[in-house]
Amino acid sequence: MSESAAEVSARPERSGSWQADPIEDVFEELETDAYGLSTSEAEERFARYGPNEIAEGKTISPLRIFIRQYRSVLIWILVVAAAVMAGVGHTLDAGLIFAIVVFITIFGFLQDYRAEQSIQALRELATRDALALRDGEKTEIETTQLVPGDIVFVDSGDVVPADARLVEETNLAVDESALTGESIPVSKSPDPVPAETSIAERQNLLYKDTIIERGSGVAVVVATGSGTEIGGIATALEAAEQRATPFETEMDRVGKVIAAAVVGAVVVIVLAELVIGDTPPLQVFLTAVGIAVSAVPEGLPAVVTLSLALGARRMAAENALVRRLPVVEALGSVDVICTDKTGTLTEEEMTVQRVATTTARYDVSGSGYELEGEFVLADGSADERTLEELLRCSLLCNDVDVGRRSGDDPEAARRYIGDPTEIALFVAARKWGLEHESLREEYPRVDEEEFTSARKRMTTFHRSPDDGTIAYMKGAPETVLNRCDRELQGDDVVELTDERRDELAQLTEEFASDALRVMGFARQTDVDLDAHDPESFEEGMIFLGLQGMLDPPRPEVPDAIAGCLDAGIEVIMITGDNATTARAVADQIGLTGTDVVVGPELDEMSDDELAELVEQVRIFARTSPEHKSRILQRLQANDHTVAMTGDGVNDAPAVKNADVGVAMGIRGTDVTEQASDMVLLDDNFATIHRSVREGRRIFDNVRKFVNYLLSGNGGEVTMVFTGAMAGLGLVITPIQILWINVVTDGIPALSMGVDPAADDVMDRDPRPPGEGVITKRIVTSVVGIAIFMTVCLLPLFLLNFTGDLIPGRVGGWDLGYEPGRELAQTMVFTGFVVMEIVRIQAIRFRYGLGLFSNRWLVTAVLVALSLQLIVLYTSAGQLLFDVEPLGLVHWAQIGIATALFAVLMAVFAKIQDSYFDRY
């Protein structure tokens, strides 16, 4: 970390708030004035506060990522086993074990290799130069040289170089979406605002790395580098720990349990054979290695990773890009989804939904920027002439342009360029049938008075077809009404009475109560621009009507919300928008029966109060990123598994600390995407719902093949241990165990990763936070199957080891084999392969899956059997694995043992069903 971040502060200490004080007090506290700093003073402050940059965090080198793959105790068990095998001269077996280790670690390295670029992305946002006052003159300096107290100038298109208090502005609007996630530009004003005002509403502050949308301004720097809002976020993001998913934690625990079991079994065998018995040391070493190799599910890391990768690929096809594979499984345990409103639950396309002329009200159908829609009379007397004049005003008093995306063909979907509010008005006029190109040619603009936060209105002047000049105005309803003394009714212009003003004000409140953003419209005819100041024509205007617009919910979201609720997943809306709008959207998408709590109320609550509140409230409005983080922390403290969405830079810490952090791919920032576990490529809540379903399917599949692999390993350990304790030596060789674990078990296990979802996958409640992949039922399955395998396979070894019961010759018949250890080991080896294939369907049956519901699994079983036959009946396979070819009598023995095993498993499953729930 740089000296500036570690040893100095980049923000002057103060007890008040920069937004609440008059600008004169801000100057006094910063010891500056409107003429800025001298060069010497700036240098002194630079030494005090440090450079205006965000300290670069530590990066993870590829070497560290590779070394990290060897943290697993399972890997070290295999490494030690391979070393022992090499030490006693079994170099082929040792080489194969080492090859398995290398494969597992390289595969893990390739999956984990991604740079931690969150801090770097923040740095890339910065502009290189800034225009500041130094020694009373405008001077272009590097942004890193800015210090608190500097006077800076910003203009349209500039990136704000530091946090600053506005001194003066001209029609200034700032795109703060990178910080707040809200896409609508924020109009700025130098006037003080209350200290408790949220970040999104501090209209007199400029924030580092936001973008000037229009206008210009002068501001005094109040914080630089890590002291800025975005710098504080970078610090929090760097400090945020990468949370291990429940599955990662559990796999680590399983590895330690297996390691302890291996050590215990080896100690028992060594004591029994070397101290009590008379087994040669070499045989004891080989048995110990057999125990170690049989206990380690070598195929499990690869099978788990590949299955998660296949699930991630399927999710990518559904517009969900997974950045951390274990999160695929974690999605299945999510029981709370905290989501933004704008763009995730809604279209992020403002849409005019209601229009009121002076004589009628209309509901407007259609959603977003599509031109399909109708004007349906809702109240009053239809008057198309007044309606058309109102829409003409909204189309002409409008700066929207129509273009297309780079690379699109001319017939591709249109792209509107301009302010979202103006686009909504533009689209509404087009829905009615007005053509913007011909209308703008017919009424060319000759002058304008721009919209500003102080004026709250915009007026444009146009040459009319009769060579006169006409003025059109739009703005806040009360502002427009205050400048009107008449109203248009059809072809008649009548007086705007006080009674009518009250009616229109009431109508405006009615629109606003439904969360509509309301705009008023007016015109003035016969304007003489040469005779008067243009602003004089903004008095005595003719009122035309109102338009109310809203960012509508995505059509698929209500069903997705209902699906989440049916699945036991709570959905919480956390928005920076006002409570009325939040409530209106919530009602439309099905989040009903809950109160709305706003940010200032959260500020007054203790953590205990908030922990209780988050269990009851599902809508939070006027929130800041700090509120989002607090809500997340209280939910996690209440043992919830939380998915958190975010788009702005300030959402990054909450996204990174969530159990599943979800970034927006369209409107999200690079920083948030780097901090996330998953990116929604379409910014759509319904994609989260589909991802949770996919996560549950994957979790079921992971649980199935973990059960399958561990129970198989349990059988191998029990068999080897029992044989050793019975004085039989190795009943199956380490290389044969490796073949079973990696190939004949691994291939079918991998195919189970693409098993279809159970019919009730989204009808269940989320699994409890403490319930992992390995449940009590799976533990009993592992133990039971291990015992049953030993009971069924040990007799096969005994029958073929001595030849006492089934000799190589019966009467005059030569059965074509010689009893002995190699044949006995071959019988156990092949018996394991056949029995473990039988176990697959037994495990899947509990999930309601038929034998042929997964064609890949059928293929995998056939491949595994074919490979086993190749090992048995080719000279290379016999040499490599120390096996003998089996005759019909041997296959008959294996068939009988497998049938007995199937019966024992069926009875055991019935017993389990009487004690355990289905899952």
Exposed/middle/buried for residue 544 (C-beta within 10 Å: 0-12, 13-18, 19+): buried
Closest CA to 167 of 147, 144, 191: 191
Q: What count of other Cβ atoms lies within 10 Å of the Cβ of residue 64?
A: 9
Q: What count of other Cβ atoms lies within 10 Å of the Cβ of residue 798?
A: 17
Phi (first) and psi of residue 393, to 5 degrees? -60, -45
Which tokens go with 639? 């043992």
361: enclosing H helix or E strand = strand 360-364
What is the DSSP code string of 402-438? EE--TT--TTSPPEEES-HHHHHHHHHHHHHT--HHH
What is the Cα–Cα distance from 782 to 713, expressed in whole angstroms?
A: 8
Q: Could you tell me whether strands 678-680 and 642-646 are parallel, antiparallel, or unpaired per DSSP bridges?
A: unpaired
8 A C-beta contact, residue 238 and residue 57 = yes
Closest CA to 395 of 432, 367, 361: 432
What is the Cα–Cα distance from 94 to 117, expressed in whole angstroms?
A: 40
- The SS3 call for residue 544 is strand
What is the Cα–Cα distance from 908 to 786, expressed in whole angstroms?
A: 12
* Amino acid making up residue 704: K
Q: HEC states along 556-574?
A: CHHHHHHHHHHCCCEEEEE
8 A C-beta contact, residue 155 and residue 704 = no
Closest CA to 450 of 108, 213, 150, 792: 213
Give the active site residue among 163, 340, 577, 651: 340
897: enclosing H helix or E strand = helix 888-913
Question: Which residues are CB-contacts of 447 (< 8 A; sequence separation ≥ 6)?
Answer: 460, 461, 529, 534
b or e along 694-704 (b: 16 or more beta carbons within 10 Å of the residue's beta carbon)? bbbbbbbbbbb
CA 445 to chain centre: 46
Which tokens go with 904? 């024992």
Which residues make beta-bridge pairs with 466? none
Strand ordering across the sheet containing 570-574: 320-322, 678-680, 660-664, 642-646, 336-339, 570-574, 619-621, 596-598
What is the Cα–Cα distance from 640 to 633, expressed in whole angstroms?
A: 10
Structure letter (DSSP) for residue 545: E
Phi (first) and psi of residue 6, to 5 degrees? -90, -35
Told to judge if 763 belongs to the known catalytic residues of this protein, a careful annotator would answer no
| Residues classed as catalytic | 340
